[in-house]
Structure 1
Amino acid sequence: MSTSDLGVLIVGAGPTGLLLANELARHGVTPRIIDRAEQPATTSRALVVQPRTLEIFDDLGVIEQAFAAGTPASQLTITFADKTIDLDFAGQLTGPQNYTAYSEPRILSQHETERILTDLLTSHGVEIERGVALTGLTQDGDTVTASLRHADGSTETERCHWVVGCDGAHSAVRKSSGIPFSGDTYRDEFIMADAELDWKLPHGGLYGFPSPAGIFAAFSMPGTNRYRIFGNFPPQSDVAGPAAPGPDGPSAEYSEPTHDEFQAMVDERVPFPATVIKEFWVTRYRVHSRTVPRYRDGRILLVGDAAHVHSPAGAQGMNTGIQDAYNLGWKLAYVLRGLADESLVDSYNAERHPIGVQLLKTTDRLFSVFGGQNPLARLARGRVAPVLAGQVLTREWVRRRFIGMLAQLRLHYPDSPLNAEDGSGWHDAPAPGDRAREADVLIDGQPGRLYDLFRGTHHTVLLFTGLDDDARPEVELRGLADQFEQDHPGLVKAHVVSTRSAHRQYGVSAPSAFVVRPDKYISYRGRPVELVAQHLRYQERQLQ
């Protein structure tokens, strides 16, 4: 079989591939999505969904399903040999930049995330083709030819305009494209399991046990009495174990960890009696800190773990991949629908590659502090951390900063080629490239949120009336908003914002205008508000 009119081939049906496929579908582009596995995965794998990802699920219309399948992750208990510290992250996302309807992470097993996104994709009329592996790629001008092998041994070629690799750390797309994957390998090995524990702690929390030997953690899993347990050890290769893995991502799993190994880890690192009753899913693996120099090579794009892998510290990986896909989806759809020039896709690399680089630095730092096996890290966990933890981690500003970093709400694109502004004196206002801030507003006279207005595939124009003596009449701005929508049918929705609280959130008191992209990032701010028309016309010239 060979075709030549397919717009997008997505390789990989994990969270990133599913998110991208859903974004394309709701923007009016039907992708083909394949996965080499013949059946969906049933293991939990990535477990924490950050607030920014919850905002994305809200936009897609699956937030209720995500809440039903998950549980809050707001309580973290850190236990040292002679000290326990309870950290409550609920209510810590304060201030204009962090304000969100989803103020705490959620525990949501990756197989549930994939189930929810698969059901949504099916509702769009797109089915995942399983048991289909990519075996090669060639590019020719504005098309890519993909060689595919089916589970029954049959082969086909698929010609398409774009191929997107969402196929993880061992990405066949990345390897076929020749894009390098440089970085380092952590010496430590990790063992991990979904297991039942018998101990004194209540189910429902997140528990960490730093010790000189390493880290042990247990995260309560929703809907069961199980925990995700994991810890790090010096590598087997130090004791005649397997050789360190190569540069293509995390190694293949080593020998399956034994029950005795898990129990020994618990006995060594938990300072009270605890028994591993049964393991339900186990793995041993090595972790890399690697990234690619670019996310695009011609008509080939990389998303998520295909582009960056790192330590699991901070539960950032899957969430970052989902945001990669959310950033790329609307841009690729605009290009395929003829609404944008191909250069729009270049902004994906310009915006997301710096985020991936920063992610590696952040997770490296977190891992070196909490789990590293070097003598300094062991000393810090054994002697320094217990002393400092009670003085530092219990401070509210530290908790706010820590959860703010993990929540991914403050990630921004200050150097994006899509950014534009007019006027000066913005002070505390969000800048182009920032995530659009949440705020309380009136919608048809009823209390609502700005993110209710953002929900969908359109650009959103916000026209702030200004306050007090500087205010513009609402009826005047409503007429302007109607004109913007008429000039850009289906692509723009415009709203007048008059509430004082929303003005405070956006740091404005004079009449001001903001344009919010489909991925809920600001592309423009300007005064006077009429200048939005020039920006939209400029965008239209860029898009046509």
Structure 2
Amino acid sequence: MVNVDTPVLVVGAGPSGLTLANELARHGVTVRIIDRAPAPATTSRALVVQPRSLEIFEDMEVIDDVLAVGGKAPGINVMFANDKSVRLELDDLLNDPANYTTYQSLFTLSQDDTERILTKKLEERGVRVERGLTMTDLAAGEGHMIVSVRAADGTTRAIRCAWVIGCDGAHSAVREAAGIPFEGTTYPDEFIMADAELDWDLPDGDIYAFPSRAGFIAAFAMPGEHRFRIFGNVKAGPEGPGPEYSEPTHEEFQAMVDERMPLPATVVREHWVSRYRLHRRVAPRYREGRVFLVGDAAHVHSPAGAQGMNTGIQDAYNLAWKLALVANGIAGEPLLDSYQAERHPVGKRLLTTTDRLFAVISGQSATATFLRAHLAPQIVSRVLARHSIRTWLVGTLAQLRVAYPASPLNHEDGSGWKAAPAPGDRARQADVLIDGEPGRLHDLLHGTRHTVLLFAGTGGARQEAELCRVADRIRHAYPDLVTAYVISTERLTDHPALVGDPDRSAHDRYGLGRAAAAFVIRPDLHICYRGTPIDTGTLLAELARRLPGAAPKAVDSPFA
């Protein structure tokens, strides 16, 4: 094995980089993380944390700190100049099987708070962010990378590592040094974003969007009285677009508010305000040899839908467990190819979706302005009157429906799945009894292992005791890598793997009836296998294929 200073070097200590470093450390991989900034940022920047990211934070054991600092945003309001408005109550739309989650609203948390919480957890895991270090070059060696970095005092050094992860944003030095293009364009308009206190008649706590003939403005509730994150587009001046970043005056900011909002609103105070340019770009590949791109280094897009930071967090969550299995010798390097196969389509689709939405809500063409002023009030109210569309829209916005249907890791046996989640889908949440106490199915999935869920079915054809023996055999074969549970509507057997489903909540949410079925859940809470009927040999062969470097241990159990 090549001698390295660290197996993994993460470049960039934003939410994506901090998530990745935390997850690698949690999975037992030695990691270093560097950032060019001498100190953490103190501005809010990204604000909305989607329910799927909250599920990830729960698995990462930072959810209590997140919930203590941020605030719920229970509703989204689209308001037009003609007094028409549409409101989406999120908790009503996060209860169908695919959407069901512990976190029944969007959540607002300033990015500096997100980074502070993740940094604290990382330090608890024994890893500190090395600040004031700028990556200047990459060189590939035989089975390793050499990363050149420059300190704030001008001195340089080389870091030898097995893998380099670029989490260093839209102007990624890692991406440039690896020779990966960043394809796309820059939007013609400029955008103003601010954290401000507003004097208006709307209540705190919600999210508000105001499409108008002039363009678009939105206000996202922040912690604090009458405090909102506000952003909107403005036309470039007669001399064309300005610099990448600048600071508008109070008068310019108030003028945008007056022009766009259909009700009186006074900007009392700006805590932070910036004018900037927006880009829509995506890297054609997220991996180049031993270099990976994560978050804004891989894809940037409009803020429509508040998807950017959350997508980067999911990138990191997807990559970390795979890199850990490879670094620990449990899986081969081909597993890492699934990162591109799974996350690149998500980034491409997000770029297309947000670009089309942004063209409608902020475009200056005659068609876009006419649509916002005249057709949007009727279209939005009619379309969103349909419960199925509202449910799909909110589930997509919350990133609970992100799936990898074409993943090379997917496999299934059997047929007749009907409404069951498919391989590549997020593992669904459900209410169950754990050790006789109320709990959630995701409580069983937390940690760093794969999880096998053995649903007993509702027909009584498969005995609990028999499935408990299957679970016990799986647990003993891969004690540190796989765990297994039996989900039963009866709970007639006393066994540590048995989970109660007395009201059939879990069976219903997984679209299951009388027949027994097995699901294998990855460490990132996505399904990689489903099979019916349950066959012990097939399950063990499936796990052996996924964990080729782990020799199954002989079964030594009173339940075998």
Common fold: TM-score over 0.5: yes
Aligned-partner residue type, residue 329 of structure 2: G
2:138, 2:147 within 8 Å by CA — same for their partners in 1? yes
Whether 1:13 and 2:13 are equivalent positions in the alignment is yes
Q: Which stretch of the first structure deviates more once superposed, 85-94 or 498-507?
A: 85-94
Match of 1:481 in 2: 471
Q: For 1:536, which of 521, 540, 543 is the aligned residue? A: 543
RMSD value, Cα? 1.5
Q: Which amino acid aligns with 1:240?
A: E
Tell me if structure 2 keeps the 8 A contact 1:195–1:278.
yes
- Report matched runs for 1:404-483 at 5 Å: 404-470=395-461, 472-483=462-473
1:295 matched to 2:286? The reply is yes
Which residue does 1:517 correspond to in 2? Answer: 522
Offset, 1:252: 2.8
Are 2:189 and 2:241, in contact at CA under 8 Å, matched by a contact in 1? no
Query: Residue 508 of structure 2 corresponds to which residue in structure 1?
Result: 504
CA distance in structure 1 between the partners assigned to 2:389 and 2:412 by the alignment: 33
Alpha-carbon distance, 1:86 to partner: 4.4
Q: Which residue of 2 aligns with 1:63?
A: 63
Shift of 1:397: 3.2
Confirm or deny that 1:101 pairs with 2:83: no
Distance in 2 (alpha carbons) for counterparts of 1:391 and 1:521: 34
Give the distance between the partners of 1:323 and 1:422, measured in 2 at CA.
Answer: 28
Shift of 1:368: 1.5
Q: Does 1:32 pair with 2:32?
A: yes
Residue 340 of structure 1, CA deviation: 1.1
SS in 2 for 1:541: coil
Shift of 1:343: 1.2
| Superposed displacement of residue 203, structure 1 | 2.1
Report % sequence identity. 59
Count, aligned residues: 531
Select which of 244, 247, 255 maps to 1:252.
244
Match of 2:260 in 1: 269
For residues 204-223 of structure 1, the aligned pairs below 5 Å read 204-223=205-224
Conserved 8 A contact 1:89-1:399? no
Which residue of the partner structure matches residue 115 of structure 1?
A: 116
Encode CA deviations 1:122-141: one digit per residue, 9 max, x unaligned: 11010001111100001123
Change (3 A) 1:348 1:450: same
SS in 1 for 2:523: coil
What displacement does 1:542 show? 6.6
Give secondary structure in 2 for the equivalent of 1:136: strand
Structure 1: tracts of 5 or more residues without a match: 244-250
Return the alpha-carbon distance in structure 2 between the equivalents of residues 56 and 11 of structure 1: 21
- Unaligned runs of 5+ residues in structure 2 are 489-500, 552-560
TM-score (norm 1): 0.95
Q: Which residue of 2 aligns with 1:402?
A: 393
SS across alignment from 2:349: helix
Deviations 1:122-171 (A, max 9, x none): 11010001111100001123110000001111110001000000000000
Match of 1:10, SS state, is strand
Residues 84 and 479 of structure 1, relative CA distance in 2, 3 Å threshold:
same
TM-score, with length taken from structure 2: 0.92
Per-residue deviation, 1:30 = 2.0
Deviation (angstroms), 1:189: 1.0
Report the equivalent of 1:246. Answer: none
The letter of the residue matching 2:85 is I
Cα contact 1:341–1:543 (8 A) shared by 2: no
Q: Is the 8 A contact 1:10 1:165 kept in 2?
A: yes
Give the conservation status (yes or no) of the 8 Å contact 1:83–1:386: no
Structure 1 residues 109-118 or 3-12, which shifts more?
3-12
Counting only pairs closer than 5 Å after superposition, residues 171-182 of structure 1 correspond to structure 2 as 171-182=172-183
Name the CA distance, whole Å, in 2 between partners of 1:299 and 1:161: 7
**Separation in structure 2 between the aligned mates of residue 13 and residue 542 of structure 1, nearest angstrom:** 32
Aligned equivalents of 2:260 and 2:96: distance in 1?
37
Alpha-carbon distance in 2 for matches of 1:69, 1:228? 16
- Distance in 2, matches of 1:390 and 1:539, equals 48
Equivalent residues in 2 for 1:3-402 (5 A)?
4-87=4-87, 88-236=89-237, 239-242=238-241, 252-253=244-245, 255-402=246-393
Q: Cα distance, 1:453 vs. partner?
A: 0.2
Q: CA deviation at 1:394?
A: 4.1
Q: CA distance change for structure 1 residues 536 and 415 in 2, over 3 Å: closer, same or farther?
A: same
Given that 2:98 and 2:395 are in contact with CA atoms closer than 8 Å, whether structure 1 keeps it comes out as no
Distance in 1 separating the partners of 2:194 and 2:83 = 26
What is the CA–CA distance in structure 2 between the aligned matches of 1:189 and 1:406, rounded to whole Å? 25
